[in-house]
Amino acid sequence: MKLMIAKLPGDGIGPEVIDQAVKAVDAVCGRFGHGVSYSPGYVGACAIDKFGDPYPAETHALCMESDAVLFGAVGDPKYDNDPTSKVRPEQGLLAIRKKLGLYANLRPVETFPSLADKSPLKTELVQGADFLCIRELTGGMYFGEKGRLDNGNTAYDTCIYSRAEVERILRLAFEYAGRRRKHLTVVDKANVLESSRLWRQIAREMEPEYPDIQVDYMFVDNAAMQLIRCPKFFDVLVTENTFGDILTDEASCISGSMGLLASASIGEHTSLFEPIHGSYPQAAGKGIANPVAAILSAAMMFEYAFALMDEGKAIRDAVAASIKAGVTTEDLGGTASTSEVGDWIASYIAQNN
Ligand code: IPM
Ligand code: MN
């Protein structure tokens, strides 16, 4: 197969972790006999600096004509403390999600046995936790009407969802639950929010179509508690955009480091694969960023964009081996640099035919 990948490293630690993901992709393609090409594009703060636009038209064109997007991170502190700034790097990520129609964000949470003690939670709680968070990604408060009233002294954001938007993400969640342990948890705030009541109504209507799936409903405040009280309860968790943003950061610490969690964003056009950790500007250029989340995002790319499951597994096995061998960055207690971890994983992939 010939893979055409749009490479969007973005800002902060994005470029250095994406470099490591590329090493892993090259190693897998070499081993399995695939051709691969990377077309670089700008997104985020670096795109604002160059084009005045966090998601320039040329980057969008590149994504549309590629088979998959490998994405690093966006964000720069120079925008964070200026609430009046009209253009922000994060708008690049929101624009790419919206324009590619990436309505589903899949964030798997898995644990590595040798890292159980790195989790802030008790080992017996986290060992064996394995669930998939499905976050709606193109609706809700992120994209609803927002504005200022009262000379700028009152502000609002609207959480709005249509039946079609809710149905497509719930359908995907039912399908994924069907391929896993057949347990779906729908997370909402239906005791207070009208949009949540629509979610729950639609989920209840769909239940009879999936008789083999056990569905339960959980309010988001309770879900925030249950995620750390008993993470093993969950199999597939589905929720709206803002709740999903918050809960997946919370869930990321179950495995021991945010630097381990990968994600896939899928929908209408080209799928996008990205580590969930963000641009972590304090670490940029220091060689201390954990590349595992980016490398596992590349594994998800093989599995979700190309249905190349053995290739994805080759990357996962190499990552697991690196962790077992203690070849890790300092967030996991190791002493290896970002590129040392990347090199180790790539050579493991290449050697273990
Ligand atoms: C994420 C990030 C983004 C979000 C930001 C950078 C816009 O936090 O992917 O979770 O809020 O969706
Ligand atoms: Mn987030």
Residue 210 falls in the annotated catalytic set: no
Domain count, the chain: 2
* Residue 4 main-chain phi, psi, to 5 deg: -110, 110
CB atoms under 10 Å from CB of 157, counted, come to 14
- Residue 33 inside a domain? The answer is yes
- Residue 114 inside a domain? The answer is no
Residues 239 and 320 in one domain: no
Tell me the per-residue pLDDT of 185-216, one tens digit each, with 9 for 90 and over: 999 999 999 999 999 999 999 999 999 999 99
Residues 275 and 244 in one domain: no
Which among 200, 230, 255 is the end of a domain? 255
* Active-site hit among 7, 23, 118, 189: 189
Nearest CA to ligand 1 atom 7: 90
For residue 353, give both structure tokens. 């035919």
pLDDT the model gives residue 256: 86
Q: Is 49 helix (H, G, I), strand (E, B) or coil?
A: helix
Query: Is the per-residue pLDDT at 112 higher than 90?
Result: no
Query: Is the per-residue pLDDT at 353 higher than 70?
Result: no
**Which residue shows structure tokens 């992709």?**
25
Confidence of residue 84 (pLDDT cuts 50, 70, 90): confident
- Residue 210 inside a domain? The answer is yes
- Residue 262 inside a domain? The answer is yes
- Residue 273 inside a domain? The answer is yes
Residue 53 falls in the annotated catalytic set: no
Residues 300 and 337 in one domain: yes
Q: In this structure, are residues 209 and 174 in contact, taking their beta carbons and an 8 Å threshold?
A: yes
Q: In this structure, are residues 293 and 345 in contact, taking their beta carbons and an 8 Å threshold?
A: no
Residue 245 falls in the annotated catalytic set: yes
Residues 89 and 136 in one domain: no
- Residue 113 inside a domain? The answer is no
Q: In this structure, are residues 108 and 126 in contact, taking their beta carbons and an 8 Å threshold?
A: no
Tell me the per-residue pLDDT of 136-150, one tens digit each, with 9 for 90 and over: 999 999 999 999 999
Which among 255, 284, 302 is the end of a domain? 255
Confidence of residue 261 (pLDDT cuts 50, 70, 90): very high
Which among 196, 227, 255 is the end of a domain? 255
* Residue of 175, 138, 94, 131 whose CA lies nearest to 267: 138
* Active-site hit among 249, 304, 313, 343: 249
Residues 71 and 144 in one domain: no
Per the structure, the complete domain to which residue 191 belongs is given by: 120-255
Cβ < 6 Å from ligand 1: which residues?
90, 93, 245
- How far is residue 42's CA from residue 49's CA, in Å, rounded to a whole number? 10
* Cα 111 to ligand 1 centroid, rounded to whole Å: 23
CATH number at residue 217: 3.40.718.10
Residues 234 and 318 in one domain: no
DSSP assignment of 176-244 = HHHHTTSEEEEEE-TTT-HHHHHHHHHHHHHGGG-TTSEEEEEEHHHHHHHHHH-GGG-SEEEE-HHHH
Nearest CA to ligand 1 atom 9: 276
- Residue 157 inside a domain? The answer is yes
- Residue 313 inside a domain? The answer is yes
* Cα 245 to ligand 2 centroid, rounded to whole Å: 5
Residues 227 and 265 in one domain: no
Residues 318 and 338 in one domain: yes
Which ligand has its closest atom nearest to the C-alpha of 274? 1
